[in-house]
Amino acid sequence: MPINLGDSPNDAAWRLEVREFINENKGVFAATPDDAEGGMFGRMGAIKQWRDKVATKGWIAPSWPKKYGGAEMSVVDQFVMNEEFAEAGVPSNVGGFGVMMIGPTLIEHGNEDQKAEHLSKILRGEVIWCQGYSEPGAGSDLASLQTRGVRDGDDYVVNGQKIWTTGAQFADWMYMLVRTDPDAPKHRGITYLLVDMKSPGVTVRPLTTMANMQSFNEVFFEDVRVPVKNRMGDENRGWYVGTTTLDFERSSIGSAIGVKKQLEGLIRQAKKAGSTASFSSRASVRHEFVDRWVEAEVAKMLSYRVISMQAHGLIPNHEASMCKLFSSELGQKIALLSMHLFGMHGNTRNRASTGYVQAVSSTIAGGTSEVQRGIIATRGLGLPRG
């Protein structure tokens, strides 16, 4: 399959349009306050302004069909837009899980009532969604989940626990998988439900990470009643609904460019005179910079491979796992390089140490490195399962 690393005339024109939009509107991020509290609220306000500008262009949900409020872009158009957003350092996924995950799943598997109720609210940013997949005993082996959903008339009664639920403390709705037939093989007997987070019996408990942040949560369900009308797809066939994903997200272009932007920032710091000069001049640190720069280019090429496959109507499988594995582990290497650059000063609570501990979760979220290596080994190299 040929891989074209250059733009076609149409791609080049579209790239220019995206760049012009970014240059005209990225100024919303220039005037946020520097203090910690003011900076946080200023950043939130800037993101809101940016989201409104992206929405005006119809780019909030680039992959959705136009009849549902999307832009109906091709995978290449989406890739170009995401690439330019990442290069400019502006937010690309301003729609969150609603646009990225549950929206496309609703379009593919939801009934007309569900689409009418949820899609327009997602586009307008009126609701926040979270994902209820992982459990304490079912993370990488998701099909082993045990949260139960028992049919009771027009409701399912849900009992169990989810964990590592990103943003659950802010979410209005959760899309989740529950086991409705405990006697079926583990990939069957699972049902996909849409759950109102304000339902009686839902308890959210934030988890504090090593970086002293609370992005993840535990969510407990005690006799939570979920209307049957909130089931997506058939009962006991939720696994196949839950595996629906957006094609262009598999390219990891945002991650690939993001790590390179991190490197560029570290290089600027290394060139500054002062406390870091003695560390950045060490041969070992200089060699690390070279290795990480080469690896950042490799990550970008892996992303190009995925998007080239999609543009030719092929479905990336182990190729997507290669992207995810390489980019997430590279992010951790760059975080370690940041620590090496600052020497013992990297152990104090600054951007280097915070980034280092935050990077730990990157090889767990979205499928662990072990899972990705298993996919590459069996599906890519044809090795037998262990």
Q: Which of 83, 84, 249, 295 is catalytic?
A: 249
Question: How far apart are the C-alpha atoms of 317 and 46, rounded to whole Å?
Answer: 37
Q: Side-chain half-sphere of 335: how many Cα atoms within 13 Å?
A: 20
Question: How far apart are the C-alpha atoms of 313 and 293, rounded to whole Å?
Answer: 31
Give buried/exposed letters for 186-217 (b at 16+ CB in 10 A, else e): bebbbbbbbbebeeeebebeeeeeebeeebbb
The closest of 285, 215, 306, 298 to 3, measured between CA atoms, is: 306
At 305, which helix (H) or strand (E)? Answer: helix 283-311
Backbone φ and ψ of 271, nearest 5°: -80, -15
Question: How far apart are the C-alpha atoms of 287 and 310, rounded to whole Å?
Answer: 35
DSSP assignment, residue 353?
A: H
Indicate the Cα dihedral angle 208, 210, 213, 218, nearest 10°: -30
Burial of 87 (0-12, 13-18, 19+ CB in 10 A): middle
Indicate the Cα dihedral angle 234, 240, 246, 247, nearest 10°: -140
Is residue 249 part of the annotated active site? The answer reads yes
Catalytic residues: 249
